[in-house]
């Protein structure tokens, strides 16, 4: 895959500001991205922004960054967005087509930071339009990894991983000699329930699960981090991002969240990337790529950290990780079913309609039901995967 234009010219980095689309601009990754953009107006300009419900914030971001187009995913919010942008002259739209329009507007890089599989259609549309993508939305690869990476290769599109573990691995993975790689290891903080008993975890409340020890993120990924489903989704994400097999992937619990990812090689060398836990570091790496730019992220002080510790993940107390590994090994549409059922279960848990233990039970039952209904297929196209996603959601909801 050689897709340096238009991120780079034959003589080096772009001489003009890079034009960015931010899908999911009102979220946590959106905040960090736009913070970097605000600090470096000489490097970046905003071509389009999208949000979902938070119109006041979306309109305020639009007034500050002056994009050519703003989209709200929720079709019912179109009039509110029009009101909020009145007098600005900024073009806007609402609903699924507006998200696709934002994703495909003329730009150099699309930051994909919508929450959940809702990010798949606009991300794939950006790829089809030949836009390079800085990918935070891991559900895109979990749901349709084979399709997305195949289209990237065919369209000459580069996928730059924003997720901190994958960004770390991207930095230390020898892409020129992938056959020398033995293992790719993702670290996990272990989340708020790392030391809890199985019974206590099963009965945990949303307030307890939302208290992540190291990272401040959107609600869905924070719950996934507490169940370790996030690490399972990240294993699947890594399988699609790097030329490796699933048996080469490992998870290492590392509560300090200083080492973000490791690659071990056949000569016994292990290369790791470290940094203070701040998403602006991996986001900046993707925005600036192939240049490494400055960020205001805290500098790592290892004497202040003192010591780093590691432990194996406990699949018995964290069954979501085991379910994700099994779905990854199965491949095809199994990971889309896993993701859809998990999204529904997490929303139900946050709405206090499901126990924390019920998340893994729902995902497990959804996979079994999909197997019985013949929905675990090896190959798929976009319409099949959207149908299987919707079907798994309906099933999990029921
Ligand atoms: P968030 O909930 O803070 O923000 C999500 C964004 O998506 C918002 O702009 C929201 O308006 C938009 N959105 C939500 N549902 C939508 C829908 N149905 N249609 C269109 N837009 C919709 O989430 P976040 O923490 O910023 O995470 C975004 C993505 O990045 C997720 O896939 C997450 O797994 C990934 N990620 C986040 C972090 C982090 O530190 N926050 C780290 C790694 C990966
Ligand atoms: Mg991560």
For residue 214, what pLDDT is reported? Answer: 87
Q: By C-alpha distance, which of 119, 69, 126 is closest to 98?
A: 69
Pairwise CA distance, residues 244 & 344, whole Å: 30
Q: Which ligand is nearest to the CA of 122?
A: 1
With residue 51 as reference, give the H or E element that holds it: strand 44-51
pLDDT classification of 4: cutoffs 50, 70, 90: very low
pLDDT of residue 14: 78
259-299 tens-digit pLDDT? 999 999 999 999 999 999 999 999 999 999 999 999 999 99
* Predicted confidence band of residue 15 (pLDDT cuts 50, 70, 90): confident
Mean pLDDT, the chain, as a whole number? 96
Q: Which band of pLDDT confidence, cut at 50, 70 and 90, is reported for residue 3? A: very low
- Give me 7's structure tokens: 């991120």
Cα of 396 to ligand 1 centre, how many Å? 21
Quick check: CB of 94 below 6 Å from ligand 1? no
Ligand 1 atom nearest the C-alpha of 54 is 11
Ligand 1 pocket test target in 36, 134, 218 with most atoms within 8 Å of CB: 218
Instruction: Give residue 146's pLDDT.
Output: 97
Q: How confident is the model at residue 5 (pLDDT cuts 50, 70, 90)?
A: low
| pLDDT tens digits, one per residue of 211-239 | 998 889 999 999 999 999 999 999 999 99
The mean pLDDT value for 157-183 works out to 98
Protein residue whose Cα sits closest to atom 32 of ligand 1: 137
Region 101-123: mean pLDDT is 98
pLDDT at 260: 98
- In the predicted structure, residue 12 carries a pLDDT above the cut 90: no
Find, among 17, 23, 46, the residue nearest to 102 by Cα.
23
* 24 CA from centroid of ligand 1 (Å): 6
Q: Checking DSSP bridges between strand 249-253 and strand 12-13, what pairing results, if any? A: unpaired
Distances (CA, A) of 235 to 2, 148, 165, 329, 336: 25, 16, 10, 11, 14
Q: Is 261 in the pocket of ligand 1 (CB under 6 A)?
A: no
Residue 1 pLDDT class (50, 70, 90 cuts): very low
Per the CB < 8 A criterion, the answer to whether 54 and 62 are in contact is: no
DSSP letter for each residue of 195-264: T--HHHHHT--HHHHT--SS----HHHHHHHHHTHHHHHHHHHHHHHSS--GGGEEEEE-TT--EEEEEE
- Give the residue, by CA position, lying nearest to ligand 1 atom 42: 163
Beta-carbon count within 10 A of 357 CB: 17
Q: Which long-range contacts (CB under 8 A, 24 or more apart) does 351-358 make?
A: 352/206, 355/202, 355/203, 356/201, 356/202, 356/203, 356/204, 356/205, 356/209, 356/226, 356/227, 357/201, 357/202, 357/203
221 lines ligand 1 (CB under 6 A): yes
Asked whether 191 lines ligand 1 (CB < 6 A), one says no
Answer whether residue 6 shows pLDDT above 80. Answer: no
pLDDT digits (tens, 9 = 90+) for 17-33: 999 999 999 999 999 99
Quick check: bond before 253 cis, omega within 30? no
Predicted confidence at residue 11, as pLDDT, reads 56
Residue 186 Cβ contacting ligand 1 at under 6 Å: no
Whether 65 is in the pocket of ligand 1, judged by its Cβ within 6 Å, is no
User: What percentage of the chain has pLDDT greater than the value 90?
Assistant: 95
DSSP string, 335-355: HHHHHHHHHHHHHHHHTTSS-
Mean pLDDT in residue range 76-84: 98
Residue 2 has pLDDT above 50, yes or no: no
């Amino acid at each position: 895959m050689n897709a340096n234009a238009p991120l780079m010219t034959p003589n080096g980095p772009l001489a003009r500001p890079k034009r960015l689309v931010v899908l999911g601009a009102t979220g946590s990754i959106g905040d960090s991205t736009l913070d970097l953009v605000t600090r470096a107006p000489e490097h970046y300009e905003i071509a389009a922004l999208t949000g979902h419900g938070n119109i006041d914030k979306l309109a305020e971001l639009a007034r500050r960054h002056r994009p050519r187009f703003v989209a709200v995913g929720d079709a019912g919010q179109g009039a509110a967005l029009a009101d909020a942008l009145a007098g600005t002259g900024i073009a806007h739209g609402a609903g699924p087509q507006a998200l696709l329009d934002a994703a495909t507007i003329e730009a150099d890089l699309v930051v994909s930071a919508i929450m959940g599989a809702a990010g798949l259609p606009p991300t794939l549309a950006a790829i089809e339009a030949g836009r390079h993508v800085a990918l935070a939305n891991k559900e895109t690869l979990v749901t349709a990894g084979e399709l997305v990476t195949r289209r990237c290769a065919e369209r000459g599109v580069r996928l730059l991983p924003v997720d901190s573990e994958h960004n770390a691995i991207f930095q230390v993975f020898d892409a020129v000699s992938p056959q020398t790689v033995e293992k790719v290891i993702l670290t996990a903080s272990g989340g708020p329930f790392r030391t809890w008993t199985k019974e206590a975890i099963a009965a945990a409340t949303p307030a307890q699960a939302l208290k992540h020890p190291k990272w401040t993120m959107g609600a869905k990924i924070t719950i996934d981090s507490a169940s370790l489903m996030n690490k399972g989704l990240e294993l699947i994400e890594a399988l699609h991002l790097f030329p490796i097999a699933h048996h080469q992937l490992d998870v290492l619990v590392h509560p300090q969240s200083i080492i973000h990812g490791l690659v071990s090689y056949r000569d016994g060398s292990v290369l790791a990337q470290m940094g203070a836990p701040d998403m602006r570091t991996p986001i900046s790496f993707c925005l600036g790529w192939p240049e490494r730019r400055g960020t205001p992220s805290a500098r790592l002080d290892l004497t202040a950290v003192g010591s780093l510790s590691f432990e194996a993940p406990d699949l018995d107390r964290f069954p979501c990780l085991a379910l994700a590994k099994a779905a990854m090994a199965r491949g095809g549409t199994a990971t889309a079913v896993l993701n859809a059922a998990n999204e529904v279960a997490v929303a139900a848990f946050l709405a206090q309609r499901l126990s924390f233990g019920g998340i893994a039970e729902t995902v497990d039952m959804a996979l079994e039901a999909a197997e019985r209904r013949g929905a675990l297929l090896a190959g798929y196209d976009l319409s099949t995967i959207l149908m299987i996603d919707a079907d798994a959601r309906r099933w999990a909801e029921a």
